[in-house]
C-alpha cells in the first residue's frame, strides 16, 4: 500500500539528499542492517519502548535510502536486490525480537508474527519464481508492518493495552496479507 507513495518519498529525498549521499546502496544496506540489530540490543539493555521505536524507525529510514540511492545513481544490481531483501528479513526478526523484549509481544505472539511476515515475503518471492508479480498485493507489505511495529512500541510506552492491541492487529492483518497473496497467486496462475 505504501509503495503507491514511493514517488512522494523519492521527491522528498531528492530535495533533502539528492546526489549527495557518499555511500553506495550496498553500504547503506549494511548500515541499515546493523542499525536494525540495535533495536533488540537497546531493548535488552532496558531502554524504553519509545527509544526502541526511534531506533527501529532510524533503521527503516536507512533501508529506504539504500533503494533510493541505487535507483538515483543507476547502481541497482541483482545482488543488491538480494542483499536488501535478505537484510530486510533479518531486520524483521530484530524488530519483532525488540517488541518481545519490551513486553509488547509474548514469545508465542512474536513467533506467530515472525512466521506470518516471513510467509508474506516468501509468497512474493515464490510467486516471482512462477512468473507472477505480487508487489503491491496485500494490505500489510513491509513498510506498513514496520510502521505498525513502531506505533505499537510507542503506544506501549503510554498504555500497555494499546500497544498490545496494535501488535495483535498487526499480527491479524499480516496473516490476512498472506491469504491475500495466496489468492492472488491462485488467480494469476489460473489466468496463465
pLDDT score at 54:
98
What's the fold here for domain 2-191?
1.20.120
Q: What is the rounded distance in angstroms from the CA atom of residue 11 to the CA atom of residue 15?
A: 7
**b/e per residue 37-71 (b: at least 16 CB within 10 A):** bbbbebbeeebebbbbbbbbbebbebbbbbbbbbe
Q: What is the rounded distance in angstroms from the CA atom of residue 177 to the CA atom of residue 120?
A: 7
- 179 Cα distance to chain centroid: 18
pLDDT score at 3:
63
Q: Which residues are catalytic?
A: 88
pLDDT score at 74:
80
Q: What is the rounded distance in angstroms from the CA atom of residue 24 to the CA atom of residue 147?
A: 25
Residue 171 has pLDDT above 70, yes or no: yes
Q: Determine the average pLDDT of the residues in 157-171.
A: 98
99 versus 2: which is more confidently predicted? 99
| Neighbouring residues of 49: CB distance < 8 A, sequence distance ≥ 6 | 43, 102, 103, 104, 153, 154, 156, 157, 163
Q: Determine the average pLDDT of the residues in 28-37.
A: 96
Domain boundaries, the chain: 2-191
| Neighbouring residues of 27: CB distance < 8 A, sequence distance ≥ 6 | none
What band does 118 get if pLDDT is binned at 50, 70 and 90? very high
**Residues 78-112 pLDDT 10s:** 999 999 999 999 999 999 999 999 999 999 999 99
User: In this structure, are residues 25 and 70 in contact, taking their beta carbons and an 8 Å threshold?
Assistant: yes
Amino acid at each position: 500500500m505504501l509503495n503507491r507513495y514511493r514517488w512522494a518519498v523519492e521527491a522528498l529525498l531528492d530535495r533533502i539528499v539528492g546526489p549527495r549521499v557518499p555511500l553506495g546502496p550496498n553500504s547503506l544496506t549494511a548500515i541499515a542492517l546493523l542499525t536494525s540489530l540495535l533495536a533488540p540490543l537497546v531493548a535488552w539493555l532496558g531502554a524504553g519502548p519509545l527509544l526502541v521505536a526511534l531506533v527501529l524507525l532510524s533503521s527503516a529510514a536507512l533501508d529506504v535510502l539504500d533503494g533510493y540511492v541505487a535507483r538515483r545513481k543507476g547502481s541497482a544490481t541483482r545482488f543488491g536486490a538480494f542483499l536488501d531483501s535478505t537484510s530486510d528479513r533479518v531486520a524483521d526478526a530484530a524488530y519483532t525480537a525488540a517488541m518481545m523484549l519490551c513486553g509488547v509481544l509474548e514469545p508465542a505472539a512474536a513467533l506467530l508474527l515472525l512466521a506470518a511476515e516471513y510467509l508474506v515475503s516468501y509468497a512474493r518471492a515464490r510467486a516471482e519464481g512462477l512468473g507472477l508479480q505480487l508487489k503491491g498485493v496485500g494490505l500489510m507489505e513491509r513498510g506498513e508492518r514496520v510502521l505498525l511495529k513502531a506505533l505499537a512500541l510507542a503506544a506501549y510506552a503510554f498504555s500497555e493495552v494499546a500497544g498490545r492491541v496494535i501488535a495483535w492487529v498487526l499480527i491479524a492483518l499480516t496473516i490476512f496479507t498472506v491469504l491475500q497473496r495466496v489468492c492472488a497467486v491462485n488467480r494469476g496462475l489460473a489466468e496463465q
